Amino acid sequence: MNAPEPSTAAPGAAQAAADQRAEQLRTDRVRRLVDVGSALGLLLALLVVFAVDCRQAGLAGIAARRVEAEGGLFDPIHAPMAEVRQHPHHEQWIGPFGGSEQSEAAVRLGLEWLARHQADDGHWGPDCLHPAPDGRCQPGGSCTGPGSEHRIALTGLALLAFQAGGHYDFNGSEFSASVGRGLDWLVRNQRADGCLLDTLHGAGTCNMYEHGIAAFALADACEMAVSLELEPADRYCQAAARAVSFIEYVQHKDGGWRYTEDRDLPSDTSVSGWQVLALKAAKRARVAEVGQQCVEQVEQFFRRCETGPAGQTGYMPGQILTPATTGVGMLVHEFILERPDSPLVQQGAKYLADLAEQSWRGPVVRRRRFAAPPEDFYAWYNCTLAMFQAGGQPWKRWNDVVRNGLIDCQCLEAQSCARGSWDPLGRWAPQGGRIYSTALAVLTLEVYYRYKSEQAKVYK
């Protein structure tokens, strides 16, 4: 038999297989080329993105440096407290916290008025509001509303207003000399046991309202130096330490403080609030240790005064509820107990925001915006400080009313000696007078940089 001839199919199958391999090779080459192309494309894309990023980063860096040079990148939350206050252009960054160019201009005029009305020996008092040469007013242009003899408190309030605006005794500010003279006057008017009192004009007994305010001013001066890692002036530190020791010494048996140093009297939250702020500043300035027992007694006293249904704090246990003491109650939680998000603060913030909108917002009648209920610089000061710490929408609602109202009722007559001050209207005007109303108004409008509050950054 003949061997079978090779099938004609065999060469055809081999050819097909060869063609298939060739096709596979072409496909693989194309795929590799595509892969390489993709990789190159991806790489190119990354390079483009990278280049754009670099450019954007470069531009952002240039812009950032430009803005920083102008003060716009200043970070008030992380800068030292004293640096925040003494920043030369507050108006460039206070907007997100609720401040404005107008509020800064009002602060500026207010501080200038206070500086013009300081006595030569450093104090602020009712005697300053008379025409020269007896007083500090322009000839024939006496500012009205001298108030009562509360030189210790008035000097303390004016000093707090300057220091909140970044004018310290040690930083070479245009008002540093005024601040130094005021602090020195307080030091000269301190009793051996630590009480700050004006023996020449006062009642001769320690007034704890006045003492607390002045002790707060001295401690605040030391706190600002320490905040910048500087050594505070020894005479101010020692005076602050003695003043705070006196506060702890006369703490009443019920845990708070009252007008006098009689420890058996019932305390009130208003006087107590100033002692609390002085203690806080002294602790931060490291001029005094505030004992745990003192803090616990303060807490217990304020707990007994928290009687309102909406985070309110009364003047005394079971007594009248006022906006001012509600603000003080919130401050105790925020500053001393370090519980800024406590239910009392949350409820009190909503209550005060409602109150501001219901009571003080309305048609603007220039210089009489706060027509009803009567003006209350004391409540606006305390509550603004507390509301700034509480933050959020309640802060915005409160600030929108009170900030604009205060700006509207500042005295602005061009030729008047009173230009830059606030008329002493409202509840405590006869006692406090124009220095009191002006210092409290300025302090209220300095809230955006006096202390830090990230939660107050609620404005766009």
Site string for Zn ion, 419-438 (x = CB under 5 A): --------------------
Q: How near is the Cβ of 422 to Zn ion at its closest, in Å? A: 13
Q: How near is the Cβ of 407 to Zn ion at its closest, in Å? A: 21
Among 82, 106, 107, 137, binds Zn ion (CB under 5 A): 137
> Which token pair is 226?
């320490």
Alpha helices, DSSP H only, in 70-198?
Answer: 81-86, 101-116, 151-164, 176-188
How many other C-beta atoms can be found within 10 angstroms of the C-beta atom of residue 293?
11
Segment contacting Zn ion by CB under 5 A, of 34-42, 243-251, 370-378, 412-420: 412-420
Pick out residues in 285-304 that bind Zn ion (CB under 5 A). Answer: none
Question: Does 143 contact Zn ion by CB under 5 A?
Answer: yes
* Radius of gyration from C-alpha coordinates of the chain: 33
Residue from 101, 107, 97 nearest 75 by CA: 97
Q: How near is the Cβ of 418 to Zn ion at its closest, in Å? A: 6
Residue from 275, 273, 401, 380 nearest 329 by CA: 273
Question: Does 445 contact Zn ion by CB under 5 A?
Answer: no
How far is 355 from 377, CA to CA, in rounded Å?
15
> Which token pair is 374?
């009567």
Segment contacting Zn ion by CB under 5 A, of 102-110, 236-244, 346-354, 416-424: 416-424
Of 145 and 426, CB closest to Zn ion: 145
- Residue 272 makes CB contacts below 8 A (sequence gap 6+) with 256, 257, 298, 301, 302, 328
Segment contacting Zn ion by CB under 5 A, of 195-203, 272-280, 417-425, 445-453: 417-425
Of 5 and 413, CB closest to Zn ion: 413
Q: How near is the Cβ of 411 to Zn ion at its closest, in Å? A: 10
Of 114 and 250, CB closest to Zn ion: 114
How far is 274 from 145, CA to CA, in rounded Å?
24
How far is 85 from 447, CA to CA, in rounded Å?
10
How far is 183 from 194, CA to CA, in rounded Å?
15
Of 133 and 309, CB closest to Zn ion: 133
Q: How near is the Cβ of 434 to Zn ion at its closest, in Å? A: 8
Q: How many residues make contact with Zn ion (CB under 5 A)?
A: 3
Q: How near is the Cβ of 436 to Zn ion at its closest, in Å? A: 14
Residues 306, 300: contact at Cβ < 8 Å?
no
Q: Could you tell me which residues are beta bridge partners of residue 446?
A: none
Q: How near is the Cβ of 149 to Zn ion at its closest, in Å? A: 18
Of 115 and 153, CB closest to Zn ion: 115
Segment contacting Zn ion by CB under 5 A, of 137-145, 162-170, 308-316, 376-384: 137-145
Segment contacting Zn ion by CB under 5 A, of 23-31, 61-69, 139-147, 163-171: 139-147
Q: How near is the Cβ of 428 to Zn ion at its closest, in Å? A: 20
Q: How near is the Cβ of 137 to Zn ion at its closest, in Å? A: 3
Of 294 and 418, CB closest to Zn ion: 418
Question: Does 417 contact Zn ion by CB under 5 A?
Answer: yes
How far is 225 from 222, CA to CA, in rounded Å?
5
Of 197 and 417, CB closest to Zn ion: 417
Q: How near is the Cβ of 215 to Zn ion at its closest, in Å? A: 28
Question: Does 353 contact Zn ion by CB under 5 A?
Answer: no
Segment contacting Zn ion by CB under 5 A, of 134-142, 260-268, 336-344, 399-407: 134-142
The dihedral formed by the CA atoms of 212, 218, 219 and 220, expressed in degrees to the nearest 10: 100
How far is 84 from 303, CA to CA, in rounded Å?
33
Full DSSP string of 346-376:
HHHHHHHHHHHHHHT-SS--TT-TT-SS---
Residue from 392, 389, 269 nearest 340 by CA: 389
Of 96 and 141, CB closest to Zn ion: 141
Q: How near is the Cβ of 121 to Zn ion at its closest, in Å? A: 18
- Residue 229 makes CB contacts below 8 A (sequence gap 6+) with 80
In Å, what is the CA distance from 21 to each residue of 14, 26, 452? Answer: 10, 9, 76
Of 114 and 137, CB closest to Zn ion: 137
Report the interface residues with Zn ion, using CB under 5 A.
137, 143, 417
